[in-house]
Structure formats: structure tokens, C-alpha cells
Structure 1
Amino acid sequence: MRAAALYSAMGAMLLTTLSVAPADGLPATPGIPGAPGAPAAGAAPAGVAIAAARAAAKGITFGKCADAQDLPGSVRCGTVAVPLDYARPHGKQIELTVSRVEATHRDPHNSKHRVPRKGALVFNPGGPGGSGLYFPLIGLLPEWKRIGAAYDLVGYDPRGVGRSAPLSCKEPKHFFKGPSPAPTHPSESYKRERIAEAKAYARGCAQRAGAALRHYNSLNNARDLDVLRAALGEKRLNFMGASYGTYFGAVYATLFPSHVRRMVFDGAVNPDPARIWYRNNLDQSMAFESRWADFREWIAKHDTVYGLGDTARKVLASYERALARLAAEPAGGKVGPAQLQSAFLQAGYYDDYWPHRARALSDYLKGDPQELIAQAGPVTEAAAEAENSAAVYTAVECNDAPWPTDWKVWDRDNTRLARVAPFETWDNVWANLPCAYWPAPRQRPVDVRTGAGELPPTLILAAERDAAAPYDGALEMHRRLAGSVLVTERDSGTHGIAGGPNRCVNGHLDAYLLEDRLPVRRAACAGHAEPEANASKK
């Protein structure tokens, strides 16, 4: 599923998220064709070795970051070349832009103690399509200072993203639509409109990228990560992935287990090949319905503050009243039902949004639309970045695996699902439907798994009510990566919990990265406190 959200610890770090497994009780989905002739998982290992050796010899020359990246001088940037096609390692090369803040060596609790360097910690925020260039700034936050003392904090734009051979599928100026509907039970005519849009979008990707389009996929993202490791001079990789970053991180662990030192999977995606990616989105839509109910119950508990209803059902009625009013007259000429739904979808990722979204809805229904316009209106200045992120998301997901090519399959499965999970189901469909008409060859998904002793212990972090990466995905990741340890935040739904407000979670993260200590197999942390209601305007 598509969704742009903010990685909870740093507002500047884009975390476009992904999807996870099908809902329990839903029937298996026939109609997904095989992928005859698709490349085998892990193909072209010689190409990776050649590219990695070349990168290790050259290294990365770090210097001032480009002005357009708006990064402070403490962050240094450089590039590393990777093959567009690993089957042709001496062919066309593309450059990945990398950012770094070197380990400070400063112990935040003891200024006289010099902390020894443990290596580079490479981060990917997910997506696919998220930029990690701002990640090194996270070392400024109190929760990350100990890690920033011991590690060079390294972020990068994966292939296709930002300044790394950017991918585009349409003109950015046409990316943001005007106020638009968001029907939970769309008519046949509306479905036909969206099918036409999906076909046009898929054609646009092919026309703009040409033959290169097929090379934007998770397998190449994992290969690029090994080249980056080599370019950084690291014999073994320290990696932290969030959301989709956990998936291709797990692909990396499967392909290059001996190259791993430490790995953190935060908000783990279900890596089962049978669920990549169509079936994942079904379960994600179901999970968002549950999290939407959590949010409504929280609003109801604070009815004296927001006046939206003292039960979840009454809050839903207030939300639907806003949808109807926006359909009749968009707020500020910018915010229609689809924009409202998108803004409230973000609240499904992070409960930090809850007070602000509730305040905006309350103000709007009382006659003041300004907060709603500010929170839900399109940020036109970010159109190019948003279009690029969406293009990479689409290309990677469509290239990674077979998808149903018969609209009847999509229509049947999601009509059924929307009866019990109307909040996000159809919006999820429209985001992924270009994959039904994708022109590039599909791959067979990697069978993510490692045997006993193949991989050093890895740390999986998961919130029990995470909607973007439902908890079953973390359990599956745990089963497939032998020797992994799962830390669960109970009764919480934040998507990405590392370095957040939960001291118990952060304690396990620090113990792993700084002291090589982990629980035996599983551990649980009590959920963090719910946000406080905001009685005044933001």
C-alpha cells in the first residue's frame, strides 16, 4: 500500500510504507499468474561481487551536501556507483547519493569518556520510495546520542529516489489532484475511471523509464546495499530498516548472511513470498480498520475537548458528516473527501497525529476550516518529491512479484473486504492497481529465510497494533530468520518504534547495538502512553 508518513523520531525523514499479509478468514486469491522466465532470486552474484570490489577500491569521497538537500554542515555527502543491471556489472552505472555524520565518540552521560567506534550504521526508512538522507540528523535527539557516539550514522537515497537516478512516471505538476472523492463503496463508473488512470500511469512509467524500469526492485536494492557496505569500508554491515526497509533488509540477510554484523528490523513487513505484494495489501486494509477504530475510541474519550461524540460510532458519524460536507464544497478549494481520508490515514501510523487531526475535524465541523486545510491540503512545493516517491513505490512493488491481471479478481476480493473494512480498502486498491497493467517483467519473490548459525542474531521490533505492518508479519519474519529476537510493544500501534517514547524498547535497541546483548528469543514492553488531548488549536 502507498502511504507517505513521517518516521516518528524525525519529521524530516520520509517513511513511505508498505504492506503486509492477508486477513484471516479471507479465501486464497486465485488469478495471480506465474512468472515464467522471471529471474531467480539472488541471480547475478558475480555482478554483485564485481561491483562491491570496485566500490571498496574507490570508497566514498564525502564533502558538502548539495544546497538543494538543505542539510547542515555536520552532514557530509558523497556518491557510490552501482550497476543498473547486475547481470552486466561493467555496463551502465547509476550513482546513489549517501549522507553521513561520523561517530561523535562523546558519551552523553560522561563527558570524560571517549566512546569507541563500532562502525557505520546504515538506515533505510522504507517506502519503497523513502529517502534516508536526513537520517544522520537523528543523532541530535537524546534517544539516539549514545548510538551516534558509537556509530557513523549513514543514510542514502536508494536507486530511483531523490538524487539517485530518480524515477518519474508523470509530470510532477500534475501529481496532486484537486479536491477529489473517496467513495468507500465505489460505483461501476467510478471504478472504470480509476482503471483508466491506472493503465495510463503504468504506461507513463514505461515511457519515462524505458528499459531501465525493470531494474527497480527489492533484489537490486539488496544488492546495492552490499555495494554500499563495501564502499564504506565495512567488512560486515550494520543496518537498520523500517517498514519496507525490513523487507529488503531481510532479502539482504538471505543473500549475504556472512556480510551481516547487526541488523534491526523496525515495523517488520511479512516476507512470505506468497504474500508479496498483492495479498499483503488486503491484510493491511483490514488492520487499518482496527487502528481507525482505536483512534475513534480515543476521540470519544475526549469528547469534552473535541465535541465529536462520546462513542466511536458517534465519532464516525461526525467524520462522515465532514466527508459529505467536503464533497459538496471542498474546504478552501483544496480539501475534498480524499484529502481528508489521506490525512486521517496518517493518524493510523502515528498516534502523535491524533490530537491534531481531531482538533482539525472539530474546528471544521464548527465552521473553521483553517486547521483542516493546513493539515490535509496538498503541499504543492513537494510535488516533485511526492511524485518521485510514488513512482519508485509503484515500480518496486510491481516488479517484485506477480499481481492479478484480471480486474475481476481485484474487484471481488476488495468488494468483500470493504464490507468489513471500508476505511482504507479502495484507496489501497487505486494506489496499487497500476501493477495489474504493468509492462515490465515480474520477478519471483526471494524466499526469505536463514538456517541456524547462518546469520548473527538480529533484532525485530514490532508494535502489536501496527496497521501498516500488521503484527503477524513480525512473527513471520521472526520464524524465517533463525536466531532473531522479537521485541513487542504491547497494545500500541505506532509504525516504527525505535528511538521513540518507549524506554523499554529503546533499552533493548541500545543493548543490542552498543553491548551485543539480546533477550533469548522474545521480549515484551508495555505500550507507551496515549497522547494527551489538545484543547487549543495547534
Structure 2
Amino acid sequence: MRAVRQNRVLPAVTAAAALLLAGCTSSAHVAEPRPPGTSASSPSSSDGMPAATPLAPLPAAVPAALAPYYAQKLSWQPCDTDFECTTFKVPLDYDHPGTGGDLTLTAARKPASGTATRLGSLLLNPGGPGGSAVDYLESVANGYDSGVRAAYDLVGLDPRGVGRSSPVTCLANDRMDAYTAVDITPEDQARTDALVAADKEFAAACQQKSGALLGHVSTVESARDLDVLRALLGDDKLHYLGKSYGTFLGATYAGLFPGRVGRMVLDGAMDPSLDAVAGNKAQAGGFETAWSAFAKDCVTHEDCPIGGTEQQAGQQLDALFKQLSAQPLPTDSGRTLSESQATTGVIQAMYAEALWPQLRSALADAKSGSGTKLLQLSDDYYERSPDGGYPNLMFANMAVNCLDLPAPFAGPDAVRSAVPAFEAVSPHFGQDMAWMALSCAYWPVKATGAAHTVKAAGSGPIVVVGTTRDPATPYAWAQSLAGQLESGRLLTYDGDGHTAYGRHNSCVDDAVNRYLLGGDAPAAGTRCAK
């Protein structure tokens, strides 16, 4: 996840081997996980609206109009070494099934390696919104615990609007290059106008190329798609492991279908009770915490290019951003590195400690007058390919975020008024994160979702994993979600980076694997040390 303009998620497997099973989220410009509502503990949202209310469950019985979708037969075909793929239909509009057309969704699976202990299917989601669960599955399946691989078919479903599932389409590649480079901390009216124009161009392109789909890619609809797939897989209950935005998708499923929740792990949890302003602000604080951890580590290395103290590191980072705002740096590719791309590159490296050496090298490169390495980090964030192509990650990210929550700001004046509060929690990234949240102000489809809590009354234990210095999904979000869930069990990892399971901490891995294989949820208050 991240902080580019609205919010989005980045499959960690593309970043570094150490991120093997991690997931992310982001925004529209620099990606981040997007929060959905208002703090469960606060009496009102940041705009003075009433506090978030609980998500109401759907009726237990499948409505007659949806019965044909639940009666489909899956046809699995080989699609890669050790993997099978299938497609199935879901209604574009669940309120009017059969009248608004259907969407075709794609899922992949790696069949269980065992037979005697088979427990069903375990659905995986890496985050986003916009991360491809199919790509994620094919990248990380062999890295999962051998016992989990023996007991479960591992399944990845690209959510509606994502990847291979009726994807949202927006800007051409050259226009995405321009979009990622536009100044997101405008100092004057001309730059403000350019930012607004870029956001409007993005929204108009999505409307032109994606049409009615933009109104039907909400997280609630994707959660209902999960239930259709659960039934088609032959499972009475949904076993699920979601990371980053995937936790919001999983929690939404639990709220809608509490009686169908099986073993569910929500790692790098989002807080559905936060509105967009509160969520973006909290995320800015998360990246500030991660930067502080990086800076403290950096100054202990001889190759640290940004001073000998944490304070000096922050000052030099600010100076670099200011320099780039005035004059972008050249790169080996012929493109230039803008301030917004440099910010994205730094944020990308906050997702995992394994990326810190790469960031030290990139910052040294920038001090020497080359933006090549920071631009590469930025490109990694957006998953830009060497030939200049972009996946639909950011398109889906924007579409889902803008539909799930009302726009946090109505226009530039509202952002300017909010900047001081953002900078109070994040001196180095607060201004960027505030302006990144402007995108949905120009979205062509009105939001259908709102902040809410998730109780999931009657479900079995749901394990919520929180990392104390997670940059993209602050630890407080995991605490809040676990507290909202009637059966939430908080598992804490005292460490750095985004998400915890599968990142080589045996305490976390053992606790999650025990739960997935035997249903033994960690005791409340369980903590794992770095």
C-alpha cells in the first residue's frame, strides 16, 4: 500500500524476495491502503458526521435470483506449471441480477499436495485494492508452509475490476508516466491547476474506457463474489488469508456472511471504521514511523548518505525533495525523476527492511546527481515494466477507493486547510499524503460505501495480525479491527515492515499455521518479538 494519490496495494512479491508473502496497498498516485471510515472509538467522523455503524449481515439464504450463479460448475484447466485456472460469472449489479449483465471473474489454484488431511480451499488476497491474487498465488504458493499446502487447495481470485477479472481500464502508458510525475505538493496556482487537470484526466479516461463497471467494483460486491466462489468450490465455510487491503475485503465478507466464516487470517489490518481523511492521516503517521526506523538504522551504516543522526537524515530528505521540486534529476533511461516520484520511491522502500539497503544506495545516487535508482523504486511501486507498460493496479485502486468511501476533500482549498494537521503527524510525508487524497473529488461515480464497523457476530475466531511499525497499515488499525470483531484475536508482531506472516518470523508463522491447520487461534494478547 502506499501513498500516491488515493490508495492502492502492491503485491509484495514484486518488490523483493524478503517480501515473499507480504501484501500492500496504496493510493492513486503513490499507492496506499485506503481506509474505509471513522474510528470506532470516536463519536463522529473527521467531517462531523455520525460515528460509523456496524455492517449489517446479509440474509443467510441465497436469494432465488442469485441461485443460477451459485449453481455454476467450475472447469479447471492447466494455466501454468502446478496451477489450474477457471472462470465463472457474477452479476454486475447484485441488486438487479440478470438485468444489468454479468462479469467474468478468473481464479487460479494450486491443488493440495496431501489427501488425508485436506481441509478445503484457502483463498488468498495480497491487498490493493488492485493487487492480482492470481499473480500473487503463482508467485508465492510454493513458499507457504508445507502443512498448509498439504491441507488446502491454495486459491487466488482476481477481484472484479482487477487483473484478469473484467479489469478497469484508464490511461495509456505514456499518460501514466505523466501522471506519476505530476507535482503532488503544489506551491502555486499553476502547479495546483496541473494536479487537478491530471486527476480529471485520469477520471475521464476511466469513465470513457470502463463505463458502467466503475459503479460496481466496491469491496462489498467483491465480498459477495467471494461467497459465490466459496460455494462453487464446494466449501461450506470460507477459509481466507488476506493481507493489507485484503484484510478489509476479508472483514467485509465476515460482516456480510458471519455464519460462513471458516478460518480467517487478516494480516496488516485496515480499520473499516475510519473515514478517508482520518485514514490517510493515520497512514501518513505510519510512514513517518517507518522513516524514523529507517533513519535510525541508516546512520549506523558507513554508506548512509544522509547524515550521522536521525535529525540530519530528515533534513537531508526534505532538502532533496525541495531540490527536485525545482529541478528534476536525470536518469539513465532518459526520463527524469520528479519530486513526486522520489517520494514514491522512498515510500516503496518503507514496506520492508530488505529494501533499506536499496534506498541508501538510491539516496546516495540522488545526492550525486542521478535519479536512476529512486526512479526504479518508484516504478516498482507502480509495477511499471521495463518496456513502459503498467498493469491495471492503479486503475482498480482508484476505482475501488472512490466507490468505497466519499471523497475526503472537495477541492484544493480543502486540502490546503488540512495540510497542517497532516504535517503534525508526519513532517516528511504529511503534505504529500494530504494532496494524494484529492483524486476522488473528480471521480465520475458517486461513492456507494461509507465508514462502518464490523462485528461479524456468530463467526468463529478471526485472527488479526498487526505489526507495531507497519508503515502502510498502522498497528492501531489492527487493534481497532480486532476490537470490533466479536471473535477477533489480535496477534502482535513487534517489528518493522508491512504485514508479518510469511516474513520469516517463526513465532508469527507458527501461530498462524497452527490456527489454519487445527483451528487453534492465538490467545488474546499474544506478542511475537522481532
Q: TM-score, normalised by structure 1?
A: 0.84
Mind listing any 5+ residue stretches in structure 1 that lack a counterpart? 35-39, 66-71, 106-113, 528-538
CA distance in 1, matches of 2:50, 2:451: 17
Contact 1:55–1:228 under 8 Å retained in 2: no
Q: Secondary structure at the match of 1:99?
A: strand
In the other structure, the counterpart of 1:93 is 102
- Summarize the Cα distance change of 1:383–1:146 in structure 2 as closer, same or farther, 3 Å threshold: farther
> Which amino acid in the other structure matches residue 506 of structure 1?
D
Question: Which residue identity does 1:284 align to in structure 2?
Answer: Q
2:47: which partner in 1? 30
Partner of 2:3: none
5 Å-filtered alignment, 1:315-354, equals 315-323=313-321, 326=324, 327-332=326-331, 333-354=335-356
1:457 matched residue in structure 2: 461
Once residues 102 and 339 of structure 1 are traced to their aligned partners in structure 2, the CA distance between those partners, rounded to angstroms, is 40
Question: Which structure 2 residues correspond to residues 388-427 of structure 1 after superposition, within 5 A?
Answer: 388-404=392-408, 406-407=410-411, 408-418=413-423, 420-427=425-432
In the TM superposition, residue 104 of structure 1 has moved relative to its aligned partner by: 0.8
Structure 1 residues 121 and 174 mapped into 2: Cα distance closer, same or farther (>3 Å)? Answer: same
Range moving further from structure 2, 319-328 or 459-468: 319-328
Q: Report the more deviating stretch, 248-257 or 358-367.
A: 358-367
Structure 2: distance between partners of 1:22 and 1:270: 8
CA distance in 1: counterparts of 2:160 and 2:241, whole angstroms: 18
Quick one: which amino acid aligns to residue 74 of structure 2?
I
Aligned 8 A contact 1:125 1:241 in 2: yes
Relative to structure 1, the CA distance from residue 507 to residue 308 in structure 2 (aligned partners, 3 Å threshold; closer, same or farther) is same
Whether contact under 8 Å (1:466, 1:493) holds in the other structure is yes
- Structure 2 CA distance, aligned partners of 1:481 and 1:115? 33
Q: Equivalences for 1:126-145 in 2 at 5 Å?
A: 126-137=127-138, 138-141=140-143, 143-145=144-146
Partner of 1:512: 515
Amino acid at match of 2:514: A
CA distance, structure 1, for counterparts of residue 522 and residue 23 of structure 2: 30
Deviates more, 1:333-342 or 1:146-155: 333-342
C-alpha distance in structure 1 between counterparts of 2:387 and 2:452, whole Å = 36
Shift of 1:89: 1.7
**Does 2:258 match 1:253?**
no
CA distance in 1, matches of 2:431, 2:63: 39
TM-aligned CA distance change 1:234 to 1:360, over 3 Å: same
Separation in structure 2 between the aligned mates of residue 370 and residue 441 of structure 1, nearest angstrom: 39
- Tell me the secondary structure at the aligned position of residue 177 of structure 1: helix
Q: 1:126, 1:243 within 8 Å by CA — same for their partners in 2?
A: yes
Shift of 1:42: 6.1
Residue of structure 2 in register with 1:19 after alignment:
34
- Contact 1:335/1:377, CA 8 A, preserved across alignment: no
CA distance in 2, matches of 1:58, 1:311: 61
Q: Secondary structure at the match of 2:248?
A: helix
Residues 375 and 97 of structure 1: is their aligned pair in 2 closer, same or farther, counting only changes over 3 Å?
same
CA distance in 1, matches of 2:454, 2:182: 42
Deviation at 1:440, TM superposition (A): 1.8
Q: Secondary structure at the match of 2:137?
A: helix
Amino acid at match of 1:30: D
Aligned length, in residue pairs: 501
1:172 aligns with 2:192: no
* CA distance 1:447–1:421, change in 2 (3 Å): closer
Cα offsets for 1:196-222 (capped at 9, x unmatched):
322332233223222332111111011
State the partner residue of 2:312: 314
- The letter of the residue matching 1:156 is L
CA 5–126 in structure 1, closer or farther in 2 if over 3 Å, else same? closer
Residues 526, 383 of structure 1: CA spacing in aligned structure 2 closer, same or farther, 3 A cutoff? Answer: same
Q: For the structure 1 residues 218 and 384, does the alpha-carbon distance in structure 2 shift closer, same or farther, using more than 3 Å as the test?
A: farther
For normalisation by structure 2, the TM-score amounts to: 0.85
Opposite residue 511 of structure 1, the aligned amino acid is R
Alignment of 1:84-483 (within 5 A): 84-91=92-99, 92-105=101-114, 116-137=117-138, 138-141=140-143, 143-177=144-178, 180=181, 182=183, 184=185, 186-272=187-273, 275-302=274-301, 304-323=302-321, 326=324, 327-332=326-331, 333-366=335-368, 371-376=373-378, 379-381=384-386, 385-386=390-391, 388-404=392-408, 406-407=410-411, 408-418=413-423, 420-445=425-450, 447-450=452-455, 454-483=458-487
The superposition leaves residues 305-346 of structure 1 with CA deviations (integer Å, 9 ceiling, x where unpaired) of 334311012223433444455453523233222222111101
Distance change in 2, residues 1:276/1:289 (3 Å): same
Contact 2:407–2:440 (CA<8 Å) still a contact in 1? yes
Which one is further off, 401-410 or 77-86?
401-410
> Could you tell me how far 1:158 is from its partner in structure 2?
0.6
How far apart in 2 are the matches of 1:82 and 1:217? 14
Deviation digits for residues 144-194 of structure 1 (CA, Å, limit 9, x no counterpart): 222111110101211001111111222233111288465657334322321
User: 1:420-464 CA distances to partner (integer Å, 9 max, x unpaired)?
Assistant: 524333433444323123332322437443365x00111111101
Letter in structure 2 aligned against 1:125: P
Shift of 1:482: 1.0
**Residues in 1 aligned to 2:180 and 2:270: alpha-carbon distance in whole angstroms:** 32
CA distance in 2, matches of 1:42, 1:172: 41
CA distance in 1, matches of 2:459, 2:156: 23
Whether contact under 8 Å (1:335, 1:376) holds in the other structure is: no
Q: 8 Å contact 2:21–2:502 — kept in the other structure?
A: no
Deviation sequence 1:19-72 (CA, Å, 0-9, x none):
3478999x96338799xxxxx966798876643x4344323211132xxxxxx3
Match of 2:89 among 63, 76, 81: 81
1:526 aligns with 2:529: yes
Counterpart of 1:282, as a letter, is K
CA distance in 2, matches of 1:227, 1:59: 11
Cα gap change, 1:33/1:334 in structure 2, threshold over 3 Å: closer, same or farther?
farther
Stretch of structure 1 that moved more, 427-436 or 510-519: 427-436
> Paired residue for 1:531?
none
- Give the residue type in structure 2 aligned to 1:357: L
Letter in 1 for 2:317: Y
Deviates more, 1:279-288 or 1:205-214: 205-214
Change (3 A) 1:508 1:398: same
Does the 8 Å CA contact 1:31/1:409 hold for their aligned counterparts? no
Q: The residue matched to 1:455 in structure 2 has which SS?
A: coil
Indicate the SS of the match to 1:292: helix
1:64 is paired with a residue whose SS is strand
Aligned residues of 1:360 and 1:372 also touching (Cα < 8 A): yes
In structure 2, the CA distance between the partners of 1:50 and 1:258, relative to structure 1 (3 Å rule), is farther
Q: State the AA in 1 paired with 2:165.
A: S
Cα 1:213–1:32 change in 2 (3 A) is farther
Deviation at 1:13, TM superposition (A): 8.0
Q: Cα gap change, 1:493/1:96 in structure 2, threshold over 3 Å: closer, same or farther?
A: same
Shift of 1:496: 1.3
**Aligned residue in 1 for 2:75:** 61
2:500 aligned to 497, 500, 509, which one? 497
Task: Give distance in 2, aligned partners of 1:218 and 1:263.
Answer: 17
Name the SS of the counterpart of 1:301 in structure 2. Answer: coil
**What CA distance in whole angstroms lies between the structure 2 residues aligned with 1:93 and 1:485?**
37
State percent identity of aligned pairs. Answer: 31
Contact 1:79 1:96 in 2 (8 A): yes
Whole-angstrom CA distance in 1 between matches of 2:247 and 2:415:
27
